[in-house]
């Protein structure tokens, strides 16, 4: 078993992060496996070295350990670019010049209706049929053409081969963004490539990411990558039932540390047994 914890260095780790990291670590240790730490820093406009340093410090304080060097996404942008080139050559991507406001306006038109998918409002297809240049553009977003993807994905049921209906992929998931012009990639693409590169066998993450899992499995199929087992755990919430966020400094691990809490106190707060 190989699990991983993959935080973004954009703010302090809170109790929800502690729960996810400890759970992934403990599952791997119980199976005599390996726990990996990965830094998801593709958003360089928000990533900060001080937050990355604090991630290492907080997780070590919690008693977790991992092999080094740690994989940092910013070191692997050429790998993501190569995957985009492959998908572009296969005719599975199209350039998109829409702003968020454009998408909201188009999807909210009376004849359309704003359907929601894993990434929010399902893309209405505005740019899907625009002429495509021969070379993959880098000055715009790139979306996955789900109608084309449907022709490549099949599954076996009762010994018969079936294809996934294009209407399901386009109306329930939509043409998700795989590259943003300011990042060169996206969460969906980078996480799939990283998990394959690190031989992750079990992805342990919150239920808030469960809806993204079909997108990741689709990418694994069209890129010929293995599909790990997915374990979506409960979320840690505040007294009002709201999911914790990085801006909630009151529940940051460093805050509890400063107040004299121990690693086992953190485990007890999130409902895990003492180490």
Nearest to 17 by CA among 55, 46, 43: 55
Nearest Cα neighbor of 45 from 80, 74, 70, 69 is: 74
pLDDT at site 80? 98
Give the pLDDT band of residue 254 (cuts 50, 70, 90). Answer: very high
**Higher confidence at residue 238 or residue 40?**
40
Q: C-alpha distances in angstroms, 112 versus 10, 104, 177?
A: 36, 11, 20
Q: What is the mean pLDDT of residues 75-103?
A: 95
Q: Which class for 83: exposed (0-12), middle (13-18), buried (19 or more C-beta within 10 A)?
A: buried
Is 195 in contact with 78 (CB distance < 8 Å)?
no
Angle between helices 187-197 and 213-222 (to 10 degrees): 60
pTM, whole model, 2 decimals?
0.90
What is the model's pLDDT at position 116? 84
**Average of per-residue pLDDT across 96-114:** 75
pLDDT, tens digit, 9 for 90 and up, residues 189-201:
999 999 999 999 9
pLDDT (0 to 100) of residue 175: 94
Cα 193 to Cα 1, 42, 126, 203, 220, distances in angstroms? 18, 13, 28, 13, 8
The Cα 148–Cα 144 span in angstroms is 9
Q: What is the distance, to the nearest Å, from the Cα of residue 206 to the centroid of all Cα atoms in its chain?
A: 11
């Amino acid at each position: 078993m190989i699990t991983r914890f993959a935080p973004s260095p954009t703010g302090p780790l809170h109790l929800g992060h502690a729960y996810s990291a400890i759970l992934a670590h403990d599952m791997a240790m119980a199976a005599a496996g390996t726990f990996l730490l990965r830094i998801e820093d593709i958003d360089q406009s928000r990533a900060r070295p001080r937050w990355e340093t604090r991630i290492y410090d907080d997780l070590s304080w919690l008693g977790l350990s991992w092999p080094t060097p740690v994989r940092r996404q910013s070191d692997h942008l050429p790998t993501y670019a190569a995957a985009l080139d492959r998908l572009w050559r296969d005719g599975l991507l199209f350039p998109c010049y829409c702003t968020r406001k454009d998408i909201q306006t188009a999807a909210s038109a009376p004849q359309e209706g704003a359907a929601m998918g894993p990434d929010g409002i399902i893309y209405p297809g505005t740019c899907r049929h625009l002429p495509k240049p021969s070379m993959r553009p880098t000055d715009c977003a790139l979306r996955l053409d789900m109608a084309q993807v449907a022709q490549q994905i099949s599954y076996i049921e009762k010994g018969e081969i079936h294809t996934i209906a294009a209407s399901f992929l386009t109306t329930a998931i939509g043409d998700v963004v795989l590259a943003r012009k300011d990042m060169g990639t996206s969460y969906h693409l980078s996480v799939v490539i990283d998990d394959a590169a690190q031989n992750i066998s079990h992805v342990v993450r919150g239920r808030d990411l469960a809806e993204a899992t079909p997108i990741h499995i689709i990418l694994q199929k069209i890129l010929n990558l293995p599909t790990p087992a997915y374990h979506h755990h409960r979320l840690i919430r505040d007294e009002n039932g709201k999911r914790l966020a990085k801006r909630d400094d009151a529940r940051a691990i460093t805050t509890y540390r400063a107040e004299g809490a121990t690693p086992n106190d953190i485990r007890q707060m999130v409902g895990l047994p003492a180490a």
